[in-house]
Amino acid sequence: MSPWEVVTRVVVPVLLVLWAGFVFVGVFADRPETFSRPRGWHWVWAALWLGLAGEAAIGDDRSWVERTWKGVMALLLTVAVVVAAVRRHRWKARQREADG
């Protein structure tokens, strides 16, 4: 395997999964009030997620390793967004309750 193949098939997927893990951890570390809906160019992340999930689910002519790391990334990003949204919703409900 050439060095370029090692980088594209091993290093990049590992770095991307680690990045998604940091995003996942960051969801729990950030305050709930900092979460907001995507605006402008942030919709690119939704397109990226859709591409990853689609290729992981029905990626023809892809190796199982590639489908697996794309699935892991899509799953981590999905869970991170859901957790952030739930935390934000609960925070806003507490704010409304405190304001009366």
pLDDT in tens, 43-65: 777 788 888 888 888 888 888 88
Span between the terminal Cα atoms of the chain, in Å:
65
Q: Which domain does 57 fall in, by range?
A: 3-99
Rg (CA), the chain: 17
Say how many CA atoms lie within 13 Å of 80 toward its Cβ. Answer: 21
Instruction: Quote the pTM value.
Output: 0.66
64-96 pLDDT, tens digit each:
888 888 888 888 888 888 888 888 888 888 888
Quote the number of domains for the chain: 1
- pLDDT at site 37: 65
Spell out the alpha helix ranges (H) of 1-100: 3-6, 12-29, 43-58, 64-99
